[in-house]
Structure 1
Amino acid sequence: MVFRAPSWAPQLRDADIPDDQPLSDFLFDDRLRPRKCADCPTPFIDSLDGSGYSIEETRKRIEWLATGMASYLGITDTSGDVWDRVVSVFTVNNIHTPVLAWAVHRLNGVVAPANVAFRASELGYQLKDCKARCIFTDVSHLDLALEAATTAGISSSNIFLVSIPADNGGPATNIGSFSNLEDLVAIGRRVPPLPYMKWEKGRAGKQAAYLCYSSGTSGPPKGVMISHRNIIANIMQMNLYELPLRNGRQPEVILGILPQSHIYSIILTTHCSVFRGDTVVVVAKFELMSLVKAIRKFKMTMLYVVPPILIALIKQGALTKNATGFDLPSVWRIYCGAAPLSEELTSQIKAHYPQVLLGQGYGMTESATVMASHPHEVYDGSSGCVLPGLEIRLVDASGNDVEEHNQPGEIWARGPNITLGYFKNREATATTYSGGWLRSGDVGEFRLHPKTGDAHLFIVDRVKELIKVSGFQVAPAELEGHLLGHSLVDDCAVIPVADERSGEVPKAVVVLSRDAGCGYPTAEREIIHWVAKHKSKHKHLKGGVEFVSEIPKSPSGKILRRFLRDREKARQAQISAKL
């Protein structure tokens, strides 16, 4: 059975999606936008000082920055190979990153966002893999960027600073020797603008706009090639799906706390918001009381969040109440993604915020958003309905299509937002992208809404072995490879452990070296420290370390992680039953 958008949702034909213009042109094209540029407020505002640029100023800065970058990097036209113009962006959230991305597109380049939680080794791997030409970073991450750039062979002269205040005093490096984004804007204002080249039909569907790294269904991180048309299509899908809801409403004021390197933010708070004419209040990092104060100050109406933020709001709700009894009086809608909400947390949120409509969504880096709750038809616990223009199949373990509701199967998706594949990795592309369908690695089932009868998707399991920590993917193979580099580890496996705050956290199952010379408690401390020293925070072994005599494997030598996962679930269930 193929599942499609509900009958009440506006339809989207393939021919309706532009394929002859770059993403930045589409965003500001008044012929296509629901609200003309001249009638829209400031698209991005800094949560700390309230600064921002109007849409007209934003468009000028795109041109100036693109021209300045081209001049600095020696790019004389916009007809070169896009893969010679990959720009890495390694910075905390800020109002400049969207403009920077669109400027890279203007000079016919590709944006490669990097997780700001990366350690130098992780960033260096990505820089080398995508052959980044330059890096944009902030003062507080400059030393990390320099270390990674050295391993990737990128000159320090090609590291640029975004104008973000330093955290904790900033780096030891002298920042005065580095050019910044405003320097490039100034250059662009002085020199002749880049020539404009009209795109031929079909180009937007073939040319990558972003290279976002994902572990896919398994293995180490791989660059996902996301075309201009992929993002344009997803913008149109979300806009059409919510159009009846937004007709007649004033522009939304949206929370912009999602990491700007994550596909969730790239689609919903960077592009959909601008296309609709909303304002995004950009928040650099999460701190509960500062966040609540910003929501009140800017009278935010819509929050795009992940489960840990909602958990913090619930756990510390008493601290955030104001005189009216509501800590978020202006908010009418909360949209949660990146990881499923539990039924218990959903109930707590609805009880704490009775005036708020709570919904969820589902997607991947390889597909962007494919499912979303519609505020007029929320089914608690579900990820919503299929977006317009998409087709969804559920495939069982035998490779057959699931033909009934309430039956699980791996989610396969097909549509204009399904990305181009993995950069320089044909084998992984062939495995994940099959005959026009994207294999998600997630297991879901469609259940009929008790009132409307529409099919809603519920995520029930995961085929793929990735661990999802607060919406970030952790590949067990990556951590296992790192652990095997420690002298105390003879063999190992990494599995997920349920965690109330993060959804899941990694746990290491380790065969201790015979000549370790220490007991389990000491070995556990050293192994946990080893990972914490070299890997991002979301990859830390917060699930602990378990020591075993042997790692279960198949006859071919593959780690039987599902066996270890099931054993861990059974153990946790026994613990819960005793409490």
Structure 2
Amino acid sequence: MASGIFAEEDVMLAWNPFTHASGFVVDTICLCLGVTVIITEHSLSCKDFLETLSTHQISVLFATSERLREIVNEARTNNHPAVRLKEIIVGGTMITESLRTELCEFFGVNSFINFYGLTETFPLISCTPAGKICMDNVGAPCAGTKVKILDLFSGDPLGPYQKGEIVVQSKTIMKGYYGRPEATQEVLSSDGWLRTGDLGYYDSNGQIYFVDRIKQMIKCMGNIVTPAELEEILTTHEAVLEAAVIGIPSLKYGEAPVACVVVKESQEEGLDSVEQELKEVVAGQTSTHKHLYGGVVFMKSLPKSESGKILRQELKSRILSETI
């Protein structure tokens, strides 16, 4: 698999932390295959990031969707000249179609690969093939890996196109969480099946589709709302730089979806009209239970982890305590 993705003449930018499973796996694979690896500080600014890509003639870029959005926004805002890459590899979370289109246009790539895996399933669960622009799935299970989808309530196995929890079995799955037997028992069955905590499904060709993290889902009016769906809609608005949707407690709705939004610098005036437009664009494309009943909260930035993932619990705490 790896030899099909990387070639010896490639130059890979090692940006993800080595302490993160994705950074450790990808960078180590590159070194084993003789690929040149450029190591940078993880705190590299988007401007310096783009300059590094050009200076070292990077051909393969591996990053999270959040980091890729920051790069595109920096390039677009400051009219940075296009940078040509051979391949982009995304890990961590799925990327929206609109962002993927922008990335392909700016970087001119002919290969866009989605990796799917957890630290507990080291190194990967599935991967899309090299040499293609993958738009919506995370590929078929890797060799030696079995995947099934279980109903969220009954635990029964589901068929194609039915959404449930992604459950995995392979020889590389962890033995357990160190010193935490109860936590291990919650996710790992006696016959070696690991509950990923991810919502997804598979199609008739065995391709896996990641939808969202189960613990991030919002239950509004008795129905499930996946933040990723609303975030994709929000980021199509011309004023939006980044968006994250969370649920807050509500007597009327159970949980009310709230959009936490970072707008572009040029759009910081007239936020009242932007708020109304965002509510309307979501309402116009979704069912009633997915509307932004919790409103829109504008922020200077979204809190993120070292690997670039949005810290949703921190977001929720800020909103509930009104320390935005």
TM-score by length of 1: 0.38
Aligned-partner residue type, residue 3 of structure 2: L
Q: How far apart, CA to CA, are the structure 2 residues paired with 1:352 and 1:300?
A: 14
Change (3 A) 1:336 1:424: same
Q: Of the candidates 59, 65, 70, which is equivalent to residue 312 of structure 1?
A: 70
Moved more, 377-386 or 439-448: 377-386
Residue 274 (structure 1) aligns with: 31
Aligned match of 1:243: 3
Q: Distance in 2 between matches of 1:417 and 1:444?
A: 21
**Letter in structure 2 aligned against 1:390:** T
2:130 aligned with 1:375, yes or no? Answer: yes
Contact 1:413 1:437 in 2 (8 A): yes
| Structure 1 residue 496 displacement after superposition | 7.5
State which of 300, 315, 338 in structure 1 corresponds to 2:92: 338
Please give the residue correspondences for 1:59-458 in structure 2 after superposition, counting only pairs within 5 Å.
Answer: 241-244=1-4, 246=6, 249-269=7-27, 271-284=28-41, 285-318=43-76, 319=78, 321-322=80-81, 326=82, 328-329=83-84, 331-368=85-122, 369-397=124-152, 398-403=154-159, 405-434=160-189, 435-448=191-204, 454-458=205-209
Q: Does residue 462 of structure 1 match 2:213?
A: yes
> Do the aligned partners of residues 245 and 376 (structure 1) sit closer, same or farther apart at CA in structure 2, a change above 3 Å counting?
same
2:158 and 2:246 map into 1 onto residues whose CA distance is 32
One-letter identity of the residue aligned with 1:359: I
AA aligned to 2:141 is V
Preserved CA contact (<8 Å) 1:289 1:320: no
Question: 2:86 touches 2:108 (CA, 8 Å); kept in 1?
Answer: no
Q: Matched residues in 2 for 1:242 and 1:378: separation?
A: 17
Kindly tell me: are residues 286 and 385 of structure 1, through their superposed partners in 2, closer, same or farther at Cα, counting changes over 3 Å? farther
- In structure 2, the CA distance between the partners of 1:394 and 1:507, relative to structure 1 (3 Å rule), is closer
Q: Note the C-alpha offset of 1:432.
A: 0.6
Q: Which amino acid letter does the alignment assign opposite residue 545 of structure 1? A: I
Q: CA deviation at 1:465?
A: 5.1
Indicate if the aligned counterparts of 1:306 and 1:338 stay in contact, CA closer than 8 A.
yes
C-alpha change, 1:274 and 1:411, in structure 2 (3 Å) is: same
Q: Deviations over 1:279-310 (max 9, x none)?
A: 22111113112111111111111001111222
Q: How far apart, CA to CA, are the structure 1 residues paired with 2:106 and 2:58?
A: 18
Preserved CA contact (<8 Å) 2:61 2:89: yes
Deviation readout 1:19-39 (Å, 9 max, x if unpaired)? xxxxxxxxxxxxxxxxxxxxx
Q: Distance in 2 between matches of 1:503 and 1:367?
A: 29
Q: Deviation of residue 422 (structure 1)?
A: 0.5
Give the match for residue 545 of structure 1: 319
2-side partners of 1:275 and 1:462: how far apart?
32
Q: Cα offset for 1:379?
A: 3.4
CA distance in 1, matches of 2:247, 2:161: 32
When residues 263 and 396 of structure 1 are mapped into structure 2, their CA distance, relative to the original with a 3 A threshold, is same
CA displacement 1:208-234 (0-9 Å, x = unmatched): xxxxxxxxxxxxxxxxxxxxxxxxxxx
Matched AA of 2:55: K
Does the aligned pair in 1 maintain the 2:97–2:135 contact within 8 Å? yes
Whichever residue aligns with residue 208 of structure 2, its letter is L
Q: Offset at 1:426?
A: 1.0
Shift of 1:277: 1.8
Aligned residues: 246
Aligned to 2:125, what secondary structure does the other structure show? Answer: strand
Whether the aligned pair in 1 keeps the contact of 2:198 and 2:213 (CA below 8 Å) is: yes
Deviation at 1:261, TM superposition (A): 1.8
State whether residues 507 and 545 of structure 1, in contact with CA within 8 Å, keep that contact through their aligned partners in structure 2.
Answer: no
Instruction: Give the CA RMSD over aligned residues.
Output: 3.4
Cα offset for 1:315?
Answer: 1.9
Is residue 292–residue 320 contact of structure 1 (8 Å, CA) maintained in 2?
Answer: no
1:444-475: CA deviation from partner (whole Å, max 9, x where unpaired): 11125xxxxx43211123333599xxxxxxxx
* Partners of 2:97 and 2:248 in 1: CA distance: 28
Report the structure number with the largest CA radius of gyration: 1
Aligned counterparts of 2:174 and 2:120: Cα–Cα separation in 1: 5
Identity rate of aligned residues, in percent?
Answer: 19
Looking at structure 2, the residues matched to 315 and 385 of structure 1 have their Cα atoms a distance apart, in angstroms, of 31
Report the residue type matching 1:261 in the other structure: T
Distance 2:99 2:38 in 1: 26
- Cα distance in structure 2, aligned partners of 1:503 and 1:371: 27
Letter aligned with residue 316 of structure 1: E
Aligned partners of 1:314 and 1:433: how far apart in 2? 39
Q: 1:367 to 1:503 in 2, by over 3 A?
A: farther
SS of corresponding position for 2:68: helix
Distance 1:244 1:262, change over 3 A: closer
Q: Distance in 2 between matches of 1:349 and 1:297?
A: 19
Find the aligned partners of 1:509 and 1:342 in 2 and give their Cα distance: 27
TM-score (norm 2): 0.66
Do the aligned partners of 1:359 and 1:375 also contact (CA within 8 Å) in 2?
yes
In the TM superposition, residue 503 of structure 1 has moved relative to its aligned partner by 6.5
Using the TM superposition, give the Cα deviation of residue 385 of structure 1 relative to its aligned residue in structure 2, in angstroms: 1.9
Deviation of 1:365 (Å): 1.4
SS of structure 1 residue aligned to 2:95? coil
Retained in 1: the 8 A contact 2:112–2:132? no
Structure-1 residue corresponding to 2:293 = none
Kept in 2, the 8 Å contact 1:507–1:542? The answer is no
Q: Does the C-alpha gap of structure 1 residues 464 and 361 become closer, same or farther in structure 2, counting only changes over 3 Å?
A: same
